[in-house]
Amino acid sequence: MMAKRPLNIALIGYGFMGKTHSNAFLQAPRFFDLPYRPVLKTVVARNAERVRAFADTWGYESAETDWRTVVDRPDIDLIDIASPNDTHADIAIAAARAGKMVLCEKPLGRTAAEAQAMVSAVEAAGVANMVWYNYRRVPAVMLLKSLIEEGTLGRIFHYRAQFLQDWTIARDLPQGGEGLWRLDASVAGSGVTGDLLAHCIDTALWLNGSIAEVTAMTETFITERTHALTGQMTPVAIDDASAFLGRFQNGSLALFEATRYARGHKALYTLEINGEHASARWDLHDLHRLEWFDHRDEGRLRGWRSIHVTDRDHPYMNHWWVPGLQIGYEHTFIHQFADFLTGLGAGTPIPPTFRDGLATDCVTDAVLKSAKTRQWEAPAAHLNVA
């Protein structure tokens, strides 16, 4: 058994993501043998009463209401940013300057320029950093990554991804405020492009390499909503739907779509990749399965097979129950944090790093730009992942 060094964590933000991260901090050391022992030191959010309650529920030693009082505290090793997008850059840059490790919810910045400043800060300070693009850590998606890396699919022709939801269709839903800051462009940066398409792009860059160019369209279906903070009817500046065609550097074609207006779909993230020898597809609503077709199979038996990715030799699964029993959404965060701590022990950066998060922001910027210019746009090339 390795000696466990304490790692003192300050979490900023206590919404949905604050819970997924806190759960990961608690569970990762219970299921993985890690070189660090996470210590839930403090949680920060504006509402004093509710942040206190959150601290009690999740076992944080203290609760604070201003991240500035925490960011350079000598007893804090790691700042984890799970607050709305407009806070990411200020907190990350201050934390890096104070020499803290920084984890950040996606998207890294509201724009690539914001993300670039965050990358510069963590790289100048030489501090460990990671962005919570959690879907890379689904065992079935990780299995697909290894099949691609082994060259099993051969030359890649197509990559397509969708992220479909339906929770913002109601006209009386306000913009701004808790949870609904995602509808306020000044806080979120963009709508589904930064929130949902960004997930699809992050996974795609990781699985299939850089995107060379895109041509996109976006739409805002409900153009005015009451603002939660002012009570005034205010123009909506986010994109409700976003789609693009593109070309990867490896020559394969990209077809991507994200929307919050696909009635009946709650979080239907699907991806498919078609190669010379094989195809694979994956679906977040059935996340423990990888659909696989291999043309090299014997002709009479050739067909799509559905792999239940729950066996001991599947990624991460030897840390969980017994073969055949499924895990779920929260485990993706546990895996990501376990990988981060393992990397920290070995001195190895764990992707997606801030630089990888920047690469995704470069693509989302190009998508938004193309939707405006109605031209093909190239994501800022020098910022793409290798």
Task: Name the residues that contact ligand SOE, by CB under 6 A.
Answer: 165, 195, 199, 267
Helix axes 354-373, 112-125, angle to 10 degrees: 160
* Least Cβ distance, residue 199 to ligand SOE (angstroms): 6
Residue 290's H or E segment, with its range, is strand 289-294
For 24, 35, 41, the CA distances from 7, given in Å and listed in that order, are: 14, 10, 9
Give whichever of 8 and 85 is closer to ligand SOE, judged by the CB atom. 85
* Least Cβ distance, residue 269 to ligand SOE (angstroms): 8
Tokens read off for 85: 């997008």
* Least Cβ distance, residue 346 to ligand SOE (angstroms): 28
Contact 78, 100 (CB under 8 A): yes
Task: Tell me the CA end-to-end span of the chain in Å, nearest whole number.
Answer: 36
306 CB-contact burial (10 Å; exposed 0-12 / middle 13-18 / buried 19+)? exposed
* Least Cβ distance, residue 333 to ligand SOE (angstroms): 10
Give whichever of 267 and 307 is closer to ligand SOE, judged by the CB atom. 267
Give whichever of 195 and 213 is closer to ligand SOE, judged by the CB atom. 195
Give whichever of 29 and 84 is closer to ligand SOE, judged by the CB atom. 84
Give whichever of 96 and 188 is closer to ligand SOE, judged by the CB atom. 188
Give whichever of 7 and 91 is closer to ligand SOE, judged by the CB atom. 91
3-state SS, residue 182: helix
Contact 55, 62 (CB under 8 A): yes
Give whichever of 132 and 248 is closer to ligand SOE, judged by the CB atom. 132
3-state SS, residue 7: strand
* Least Cβ distance, residue 110 to ligand SOE (angstroms): 14
Rounded Cα gap, residues 107 and 358, in angstroms:
9
For 53, 60, 80, 304, the CA distances from 56, given in Å and listed in that order, are: 5, 6, 18, 48
Give whichever of 182 and 355 is closer to ligand SOE, judged by the CB atom. 182
Rounded Cα gap, residues 334 and 338, in angstroms:
6
Contact 338, 331 (CB under 8 A): no
* Least Cβ distance, residue 244 to ligand SOE (angstroms): 19
Those residues with Cβ within 8 angstroms of residue 265's Cβ, 6 or more apart along the chain or in another chain: 164, 165, 166
* Least Cβ distance, residue 240 to ligand SOE (angstroms): 13
Running DSSP on this structure, what letter comes out for residue 175? B
Q: Which residue is nearest to ligand SOE (CB)?
A: 195
Rounded Cα gap, residues 234 and 222, in angstroms:
11
Give whichever of 165 and 270 is closer to ligand SOE, judged by the CB atom. 165
* Least Cβ distance, residue 190 to ligand SOE (angstroms): 12
Paired sense of beta strands 156-164 and 253-259, if any: parallel
* Overall size of the chain counted in residues: 386
* Least Cβ distance, residue 166 to ligand SOE (angstroms): 10
HSE-CB at 120 with a 13 A cutoff on CA atoms is: 8
